[in-house]
Chain A
Amino acid sequence: MSEKPKFVYVIYIASTPEKVFRALTSAEMSKQYWSGNYVESDWKVGSPFVLKLSRHEKEDITGEVLEFDPPRRLAYTFRPHHGGMEGEGASRVVFEIEAHQDQVKLTVIHDGFEAGSKVFEAISKGWPHVLSSLKSYLESGKGMMAPWYSDDAKRTAGAA
């Protein structure tokens, strides 16, 4: 992809590259910070990648593992099948993990969108939340429910 990336997000997390990598690739851990959604794959390059969506049965985000290089680099393609995004081709997500003194610098690059992409709009809202929830989960053990999942949040708050 020679075109310049559309989105580059960076977050610093007080953790280790190994833990951050595990959090990005473990179903159990991702569930804790991804508003109940979770990743599923055997993480072999070329294998399917699925982001199971807690609110959309049978409409998971699908893709393919492009790179798996623990604990430094992870990449997969990304294709939602809901909310009017089902016609769009796959975009690409790359995670870069670097130790930075006692913190980890996590860079997320998401690119390869079609012109006028709805996925692009959705992810620009989604990633900042997922990343700050991941930070909160790794630093304090608690992830955060996305505010636009407010029905779920009320239910969780009621149950807690």
Chain B
Amino acid sequence: MDAVFKALADPSRRELLDRLRADNGQTLNELCARLAMTRQAVSKHLAILEAANLVATVRRGREKLHYLNPVPIHEIGERWIGKFEHSRLQALSDMKRALEVGDE
């Protein structure tokens, strides 16, 4: 779990996860195309995310596709969020989303 928190502590790595969330299964080239980071930096961040199991990869031919792997984040939630809190938290976050959209 230390590896997960360390990996998430960096804003560039969170941005990479956001990009995968928006479009899962990208190659290194695709990820680099729209980022103000060097290829080496992106590659290094991806390695840290993969070591923390936040990114899963599959090979397709010569390409390596990167996927956001939500399982470790789910395990963190499982550890600190009780069974019966789940639906109340969902209601609160739905409310927050609804109210914030309404403000725009």
Name the interface size band of chain B.
Answer: 20 to 34
Binds B, one of A20-28, A58-66, A80-88, A143-151: A143-151
Instruction: Verify A12–B53 contact, CB threshold 8 A.
Output: yes
- Any A CB within 8 A of the CB of B60: yes
* Complex Cα spacing A131 to B25, Å: 20
- Any A CB within 8 A of the CB of B87: yes
- Any A CB within 8 A of the CB of B48: no
- Any B CB within 8 A of the CB of A10: yes
Closest to B57 in A: A8
Q: Give chain B nearest CB distance to A10 CB in angstroms.
A: 4
Closest to B78 in A: A132
Whether A132 contacts B74 in the complex (CB less than 8 A), given A4-B25, A6-B24, A9-B69, comes out as: yes
Instruction: Verify A145–B69 contact, CB threshold 8 A.
Output: no
Contacts of A124 in B (CB 8 A): 70
Instruction: Verify A9–B25 contact, CB threshold 8 A.
Output: no
Instruction: Verify A147–B58 contact, CB threshold 8 A.
Output: no
Contacts of B67 in A (CB 8 A): 5, 7-8
- Any A CB within 8 A of the CB of B86: yes
Q: How many residues of A contact B (CB 8 A)?
A: 25
Chain B residues touching A, majority SS = mixed
* Complex Cα spacing A129 to B81, Å: 13
Q: Give chain B nearest CB distance to A77 CB in angstroms.
A: 19
- Any B CB within 8 A of the CB of A14: no
- Any A CB within 8 A of the CB of B71: yes
Instruction: Verify B71–A128 contact, CB threshold 8 A.
Output: yes
Q: Give chain B nearest CB distance to A2 CB in angstroms.
A: 9
What are the nearest 10 A-B pairs in CB distance? A147-B86, A128-B74, A8-B67, A10-B56, A4-B25, A8-B56, A11-B71, A132-B75, A128-B70, A153-B83
Residues of A at the B interface (CB closer than 8 Å) are 4-12, 107, 109, 124, 128-129, 131-132, 135, 144-145, 147-148, 150, 153-154, 157
23 residue pairs of the A-B complex, CB under 8 angstroms, read A4-B25, A4-B60, A4-B65, A5-B25, A5-B58, A5-B65, A5-B67, A8-B24, A8-B56, A8-B58, A8-B69, A11-B71, A107-B58, A128-B70, A128-B74, A129-B74, A131-B71, A135-B75, A144-B78, A147-B81, A147-B86, A150-B86, A154-B84
